[in-house]
Structure formats: structure tokens, C-alpha cells
Amino acid sequence: MTKSQLVEEIIKKQSYLCVGLDSDCEKLPKGFSKDAKGVLEFNKAIIDATAAHCVGYKINTAFYESMGVKGWQAMEETLAHIPSSHFTIADAKRGDIGNTSAHYAKTFFEVLPFDAITVAPYMGKDSLDAFLAYKNKFTIVLGLTSNEGSQNFQQQKLSTGEYLYESVLAQVATWGTAEQIMFVVGATKTQELENIRSIIPHHFLLVPGVGAQGGSLADVTKYGKNESVGLLVNASRAIIFASAENDFAEKANRAAAAYAIEMKGLL
């Protein structure tokens, strides 16, 4: 999916919601087996219940990789069940150099045909080159994350006076175009969003942390929106685990709809 196609879907739906399929098999509602088969059945029901209200899905690969071969099969079948109109993200946080990166890119852009993958930029430009070589695919680079440990490196000041995350944003933005690169910015970092937008005004931001992690959708939109909206706000647990009972799909639908309604008002 291209940037223009994604923007078109956002404008048409008046929603920039991305549903995170962080489908921990131990948290599945009643009636599902606590295994890869149960995860797949659950994911299909969640996708069917939420597709009308979102523009994308983010699959956190860790929840599938930890189940071995059957987990990978569940991930592949989950991806196949997502409508082609929706943007798909492999939240895999890969990052390596040379041939290793090329195989990661092949895995998540060809074998599993995701539209985008999350990557860590710590190893530098040559660790992203293999991903950026693909056309009509997005490389989503970790920018400023919500976790407490982000202070260890991302928010350390350099000798230039800028924070490390600011240097990462500025440099990575020159390695490709806004048609290829997005950045992850945590929803709890709204105080920094205005500054981040001054560094990368035209790129899409993938924003996790709204909902269960306490991020404000209104603040994220106010400080993060650009001329093409430029936001994919991800909500995972608040939607997919809205209920642990037999009404889980209905509650997921309502939760996704509530986000979409708020987003329409903010646009």
C-alpha cells in the first residue's frame, strides 16, 4: 500500500485507528483454546468485528513466534484474513546489517506480505537499506518510545545539545522519503510531539500507547497531525481484550467504534 492509498483510506473512513493484534494466548476469552489455533480463531473474529472502524492492523510478531511453527502459521493466516483495504504492520523490531537484513525484509515483505515493518535504527543506515529497497513498502523506525527505559539512550543529550532521538529522526529522514519511512512515537510523549513534527513534518507517525497505556488521543492529534493527517494511532489491549466473555467481539467492535468516533471529531 502506498502513502497516498493510506491517506485515501483515512480520509474516507475519517479514522486513523490501527488495531494491534497482540494476541496473547493466555488472555484469550472463554471458549478459545490457549494455543495457536485459538489465537487464529480469535484474531479472525476481532478483525471481522473491527475492520469497519480502523484503517490498519499491527501484528506483534513476538506473540506468534513464541508458539513456534504453529504460531507462524497463525500469523500467516491472520495476515491473509485482513482485508486488502487495510494497512498491515509486522511489529517485529528487526535491525541488522547486510544479508541478514535482506532476509528479514524478504520474510516480512514477500513471504509474509506485510505493508510495513518496525525496525530499530541503532546499527545505522546499512541496517535499513534492505528494507528501503522495496517499493510501496514502509520501514517504521523507532523514534521516541513510551517505555521507562527510553531515558537510557533515546533521551540522552549529545554534545551538540540535541537529544539522541532528535538526531535519529533527522538522520533517518534523509535515508529515504516520506513515502518509505514512518516513525514510532509513543502516545505518552505528547510534550515532545510538536518538536518532533518540526524535525519530520511530512512523515507518518505510528503512535502506540493510547488506551491501556494512558496516552491522550486528543493531544496526539493536536500535536502530531500534519497536512495528510500523518498518524496511525494504535490500540491493542483496550480493543481486543475489551471483554473476556462471550461478548468479546461485540465489545471490541464498540471499543474500536468509540475510537473512530473520537477521531472523526478531532479531524
Active site residues: 93
Residue 246 and residue 244: Cα distance in Å, rounded?
7
Residue 7 and residue 30: Cα distance in Å, rounded?
37
Instruction: Give the CA radius of gyration of the chain.
Output: 18
Closest CA to 1 of 66, 89, 75: 89
89 strand-pairing partners: 58, 116
Residue 200 and residue 184: Cα distance in Å, rounded?
12
> Grid coordinates representing 253?
467492535
Residue 187 and residue 79: Cα distance in Å, rounded?
25
Cα 192 to chain center, whole Å? 19
Q: What are the distances in angstroms from CA 234 to CA 10, 34, 174, 266?
A: 14, 25, 26, 16
Closest CA to 64 of 47, 79, 82: 79
